[in-house]
Structure 1
């Protein structure tokens, strides 16, 4: 009997003919080759945190939940090999046992590493890249069911695939090149972070934003539309904290002051589920785009917005489909603006109304969050778009890993 699969927020569901959860790469390859032989499709899924139908399929939904753990580590060289279904929280604990840590993490830690990497998940910090930028190599099962290496794991590259291009394609691939079976990640020495969360008025943030970004290892803020207050979060290694805080400012209150391992301190606890739209924009210390968003929300959506707007920064990288890819940004960092709305409240009118503001500022959408862009618009935003599509068709010539949503994204509607 077919079983429904629903994403984390509850807004997207599908009823695959089969939900496969292989315990080995051999079993995984069998799933793929059998599906390909009968003209079926396969979509890998992680924790289901994506707010888009990226996982949706009526054929085979492939869970990687049984392929977890760290298989090899070289602390001196600064890398670790990880299986694709490993949760970010578990990965943090496993790396800590070897005195190592990820460079940065996202807002939550209940995602799998393969899902987080494949959609360009990120944290905040103008010198810190997204999780995909830490991928040095690995293995994937392509559309023919063949496990193939990439990046550092490739050894002697194939003549028909440029090694550097293949790595940059896999780093953010939306699961369209194949199923990741191993990831070799760049890691660093384990470290503690000191986290401060301040409530203050948004005007203080606007006045001091450039200094906050440049003097903190990681800084982000939430703006609360109904109160016009903001929650500023800074993360620094103990002893490296700058002096600038909103202490003594009107409305200011210290809400959190904690220190601990980075994998425990960075993520937030998310008891409430939500829908989200997020765009990556050129970094602007004046927060011009945010000011437009703020005015639009206050004038048209304040009564219906139950949650907040999140602003973060990310260093540039070189993945072909990364929304912080350096060539399009001319080597500059990015800032992100995310609209969050409780999943029990209406979100479509709100998101649809604000989204064109992001387009005005050369925004590129987060692959795992709500947006309306499709193939032609997206192709114009990614200088390496055609190169990625060529690699995709080489690795998956029969489109085993495609679904209707990806065809829309890539401009290949049937």
Structure 2
């Protein structure tokens, strides 16, 4: 038996029979074929940041920690090919050495790139897509032990790599199609960002939210239930900062003012661990859903909520089961996200369970790596390409080598 694995927040713990860390893609293919041959199962894991048991297994836990680094970088085409276990922090440093950078990053940078992409990890910015949308090609080992190219690597046209259905399925797949062995990412020229974190009253944010979203490259805010204050984070290239700030407003002050490479400036330092529920909703400049959630928290949960509520925006994309997928969002409208964060030392279930139906009222989709209670029956109507994704998944993994009980419930495979 391998050692017990516990996720970052501490809410998911399991003991696999074995843990494998292959050093070459061909070793990974051999491992998958061997696992299939004995009728076993295998789940890949990165940093374990997901707060749901996507990676849980009683059989083989696969770590990609030995498959790291930038394989190639093309500044002229804006492409980089990387290995799946590369941590986001290391990836930022290595891309910078080639004069390149990710378009955007999430709130934390200790995730592995394959896990971040597989769950639709995102940052904030109404014109910036999630990390998954930047993957335009690569290779994966499917459930038959075959290494399969997709997107640009499979010959898809450079102007439209998402014409390849396998790419659109692989962009957000929860590791259910196979194990990524290489990822080709659309990247940008390395750039600096100016980050300003303002503390102000939530009323100022509510009054100015639409303009804040439109005038910042990236903007998000935390609301603190106990004080009714908000922390507004604005990220812009130096010289592109908007005029609108809460300077001079009551209770307002500039908490942080930093400039540096985007991979250093975007992520937050997370010493405190937390549980999280996040839903993706159609963008609404009036923050109607947030206002309703705020009133519910103030009325019922203020005394128990130890942390905050986070609101972000994301551009639409085309991945089959991305929670920001364009067809579902009325022809490509952007998405806003509302996340409930609770210290992992405090109770969260009653709080999350009470707020989750509000997300449903606003046509919300759950973040794949965070707490939610939906299963296949509720999820399928939310994704126009749900059935097609399941077809691709079964084609790539006909024997369910990459399934676990959590994914079986999520995809409706309990009786198959």
TM-score band by shorter chain is over 0.9
In the aligned structure 1, how far is the partner of 2:91 from the partner of 2:44? Answer: 20
Counterpart of 2:364 in structure 1 is: 363
Shift in Å at residue 155 of structure 1?
A: 2.7
In the aligned structure 2, how far is the partner of 1:19 from the partner of 1:300? Answer: 44
Displaced runs of 4+ in structure 1, greater than 6 A?
Answer: none
Counterpart of 2:351 in structure 1 is: 350
> What is the SS of the residue equivalent to 2:193?
strand
In the aligned structure 1, how far is the partner of 2:169 from the partner of 2:148? Answer: 14
In the aligned structure 1, how far is the partner of 2:220 from the partner of 2:205? Answer: 10
Counterpart of 1:236 in structure 2 is: 236
Counterpart of 1:401 in structure 2 is: 402
Shift in Å at residue 365 of structure 1?
A: 0.2
Counterpart of 1:248 in structure 2 is: 248
Q: 8 Å contact 1:150–1:163 — kept in the other structure? A: no
Q: Normalised by the size of structure 2, how large is the TM-score?
A: 0.98
In the aligned structure 1, how far is the partner of 2:163 from the partner of 2:35? Answer: 28
In the aligned structure 2, how far is the partner of 1:305 from the partner of 1:149? Answer: 46
Counterpart of 1:127 in structure 2 is: 127
Counterpart of 2:35 in structure 1 is: 35
In the aligned structure 1, how far is the partner of 2:144 from the partner of 2:205? Answer: 52
In the aligned structure 2, how far is the partner of 1:364 from the partner of 1:3? Answer: 34
Shift in Å at residue 156 of structure 1?
A: 7.8
In the aligned structure 2, how far is the partner of 1:250 from the partner of 1:206? Answer: 15
Matched residue count: 410
Counterpart of 1:180 in structure 2 is: 180
Q: Deviations over 1:162-211 (max 9, x none)?
A: 96111100000000000000000000100000000000000000000000
Shift in Å at residue 34 of structure 1?
A: 1.0
Q: Deviations over 1:86-137 (max 9, x none)?
A: 0000000000011100000000000000000000000000000000000010
Counterpart of 2:387 in structure 1 is: 386
Q: 8 Å contact 2:156–2:164 — kept in the other structure? A: no
In the aligned structure 2, how far is the partner of 1:16 from the partner of 1:85? Answer: 20
Q: Normalised by the size of structure 1, how large is the TM-score?
A: 0.98
Counterpart of 1:293 in structure 2 is: 293
Shift in Å at residue 31 of structure 1?
A: 1.3
The unaligned stretches of length 5 or more in structure 1 are none
Q: How does 1:143-222 map to 2 (within 5 A)?
A: 143-155=143-155, 164-222=164-222
In the aligned structure 1, how far is the partner of 2:294 from the partner of 2:275? Answer: 18
The unaligned stretches of length 5 or more in structure 2 are none
Q: Deviations over 1:371-400 (max 9, x none)?
A: 000001000100000000000011100010
Counterpart of 1:118 in structure 2 is: 118
In the aligned structure 2, how far is the partner of 1:175 from the partner of 1:68? Answer: 17
Shift in Å at residue 279 of structure 1?
A: 0.1
In the aligned structure 1, how far is the partner of 2:277 from the partner of 2:156? Answer: 41
Counterpart of 1:109 in structure 2 is: 109
In the aligned structure 2, how far is the partner of 1:283 from the partner of 1:368? Answer: 21
In the aligned structure 2, how far is the partner of 1:396 from the partner of 1:41? Answer: 11
Shift in Å at residue 2 of structure 1?
A: 3.4
In the aligned structure 2, how far is the partner of 1:163 from the partner of 1:200? Answer: 45
In the aligned structure 2, how far is the partner of 1:344 from the partner of 1:32? Answer: 37
Shift in Å at residue 47 of structure 1?
A: 0.4
